[in-house]
Amino acid sequence: MSLRLRLVEPTDSARLLAWRNSPEVAAYMYNDHAISQAEHDRWFAAAMVAEDRRYWIIQADDEPVGLANLIRIDPEARRCEWAYYLGEASTRGKGLGARIEYLVLRYVFETRRLNKLWCEVLLENEAVWKMHQSFGFVREALLREHVCKHGRFHDVVGLGMLHSEWQAAKPAIEARLRAKGFEPEMLPAAP
């Protein structure tokens, strides 16, 4: 399965709203309400022009399957935050998450030359925060009762990776991708 990230375009708006409201994606988002068209339109318009954000459509075999993004890109502090989701259920469990993570790490640390990448993951989403740790992310925080969803508080794990940690982890990550049949050299860094 080929994989690439392409910048979000205006024609992606309806698809993104459907993904964001799907139960499989919404379960791991911070909000717990159905996102209205008006709310989505405001978010989308801001996302398309914000200089401290970058949004990509994840494409597998040239079909849109999810979203990856950077937010709070701070060139002075040389850090940003990131997240991604697979909106198409048929693509989950096929190793795309690891390949997406690799592309974003290369972009952040090699293209943008940032020093730190941060992410937050609901504690119950153990598979995702453990995958981040397998790439070299370090658990830096446990944000207790940080998010309220459906009237229940949830803890959040905060994870960070530094440029030096990426450099140390990259050879093992690439070896692991090769062992799974993916050639890292064939994966273009995010645009």
Q: How would you label 161-178 residue by residue, b for 16+ Cβ within 10 Å and e otherwise?
A: bbbebbeebbeebbebbe
Q: What does pTM read for this prediction?
A: 0.91
Q: Is 59 exposed, middle or buried (0-12, 13-18, 19+ CB in 10 A)?
A: middle
pLDDT of residue 187 exceeding 70, the answer is no
CA distance 115 to 178: 26
**Per-residue pLDDT tens over the stretch 69-106:** 999 999 999 999 999 999 998 887 778 889 999 999 99
Q: What's the confidence (pLDDT) of residue 188? A: 61
- DSSP secondary structure code for residue 106 in this structure: H
Q: Partners of 4 in the beta sheet?
A: 59
Q: Partners of 64 in the beta sheet?
A: 59
Domains of the chain and CATH, by start: 3-186 (3.40.630.30)
CA distance 178 to 190: 19
**Per-residue pLDDT tens over the stretch 44-73:** 999 999 999 999 999 999 999 999 999 999
Q: Is 48 exposed, middle or buried (0-12, 13-18, 19+ CB in 10 A)?
A: middle
Q: How many CB atoms lie within 10 A of CB 184?
A: 16
Joined tokens for residue 133: 């740790």
Measured distance between the N- and C-terminal CA atoms of the chain, rounded to whole angstroms = 19
CA distance 157 to 126: 9
